[in-house]
Amino acid sequence: MRRYHVLFFSIVVISVLGLFLLFVPVREPPPSALPGMVYIPAGYFVMGSDKRDDAGRAAEFGSRRPWYMDEHPARRVHTAAFWIDKYEVTNRDYREFVRSNNYWLPMLWKTNGYHVRKELLETYDDDYLLLVANELFGVEQLEENAGKRQLLIKILDKQAEYDDLPVAGVNWDHAQAYCNWLGKRLPTELEWEKAARGSDAFEYPWGNEWDAGRLNDGSGGGWEHGVSPVGFYSEGRSPYGVYDMAGNVMEWTKTWYQAYPHSRYFSEDFGEKYKVVRGGSWGGFGHYNISHYYRAAGRFYFAPNSVFDDLGFRCAKDL
């Protein structure tokens, strides 16, 4: 009799376990990795904030906008899974696009000579090459009898300094065109914030405590061109492993600057006039480099035709 009781109990346990497994959602493994991109899984995260500037620090620092108000209210938001670039798009990446499409040059390339091809430089006679080296690249002749080859090497070394720096001086249309060329797109504001702060509502990509050593905010990096190579600040990466989401260059998003759902805050800048920009930059804002502008929930915005030497982008891609 006892044997039948054990058998009956086993059948009940197996049946209950089967029903439980039937209703438990199965988590599919992430798809195969895409080169240079990070997989962001579907799920909820906290977007925005309920912070208030009761101390009036915005006025103290000369901000024409009240702090935090356009981030209200904080809310749980669900996103589908997506991919996002691990790093900001570099000059090297963007140069391939420009050359393949005979595309518009970034503003900064017109002054630093980054776009000039080696094949073109090789056609210049010695005197003209020296003139170009001096005026465009800031390269002095190495010595009185230095040949054309030595001077050319010096120029190419100067160009290479920009390879791993994020591209800047591109407007919203240029950034979107680059992403489209690769079968990608600009990330939405929602996607950008999730990739930056993770599911634990971090204040900054690395956590809740400010640490100027984890980003390039322009206050002490000593970078020759202001901007740092992408991925240099590894301790500032986001919970998903995305780099430079605070500092270095601000980043275009796909989204128009609008009020959040259920917000009580009104701005005359809301509407389809400005695109949201995220992340803060090495250039700071005005004369100040303060932690407020590098928060993962922080919002800024520019007209789509804006170009600045500290404004770049990264791409995203649907699953």
**Span 86-97, pLDDT tens digits:** 999 999 999 999
Render pLDDT for 172-227 as a digit per residue (tens, 0 to 9). 999 999 999 999 999 999 999 999 999 999 999 999 999 999 999 988 678 999 99
Choose one of 131, 160, 189: the last residue of a domain: 160
Domain containing 212 equals 37-90+165-318
Cis preceding-peptide flag for 35 (omega within 30 of 0): no
User: Which has more pLDDT, 179 or 150?
Assistant: 179
Helices 148-160 and 126-137: angle between axes, nearest 10 degrees: 20
Pair 193, 59 in one domain: yes
175 or 14, which is more confident? 175
Q: What is the pLDDT of residue 21?
A: 38
The reported pLDDT for the residue numbered 285 is: 63
Q: What is the mean pLDDT of the chain?
A: 88
Asked whether residue 154 falls in the same domain as residue 172, the answer is: no
For position 17, what pLDDT does the model report?
41
- Model confidence at 3: pLDDT above 60: no
Strand spans (E) along the chain: 37-40, 43-47, 75-79, 82-85, 250-256, 275-278, 300-302, 311-312, 316-318
Backbone angles phi, psi at 269, to 5 degrees: -85, -10
Average pLDDT over residues 139-144: 66
Do residues 147 and 252 both lie within one domain?
A: no
Q: Are residues 138 and 48 in the same domain?
A: no
pLDDT for the residue 11: 45
pLDDT value at 7 more than 70: no
In a domain, 23, yes or no: no
Report the alpha-carbon angle 273-238-212, nearest 5: 90
Q: Are 119 and 195 within one domain? A: no
Is residue 31 included in any domain, yes or no? no
pLDDT of the residue at 164: 98
* pLDDT at residue 180, rounded to an integer: 98
Domain with residue 211: its CATH number is 3.90.1580.10
Summarize the confidence of residues 128-157 as an average pLDDT.
82
CA geometry: angle at 198 spanning 196 and 201, to 5°? 100
- pLDDT at residue 83 in the model: 98
Q: Dump pLDDT digits (tens) for 88-138.
A: 999 999 999 999 999 999 989 989 999 999 999 999 998 899 888 888 888
**Are both 222 and 296 inside the same structural domain?**
yes
Q: What is the pLDDT of residue 142?
A: 60
Verify that 203 and 75 share a domain, yes or no.
yes
Query: What does the DSSP 8-state code read for residue 276?
Result: E
Residue type (1 letter), 232: F
Residue 27 in tokens: 């988590």
CA 291 to CA 261: how far, in whole Å? 26
Report residue 311 CA to chain centroid gap: 10
The answer to whether residue 2 scores a pLDDT higher than 70 is no
- Please name the residue ranges forming H helices in 70-219: 91-101, 109-112, 118-121, 126-137, 148-160, 172-181, 189-197
Question: Model confidence over 187-197: pLDDT tens digits?
Answer: 999 999 999 99
Q: What is the pLDDT of residue 9?
A: 46
pLDDT digits (tens, 9 = 90+) for 22-71: 444 444 556 677 899 999 999 999 999 999 999 988 888 888 889 999 99
Q: Amino acid identity, residue 19?
A: L
Verify that 218 and 297 share a domain, yes or no: yes
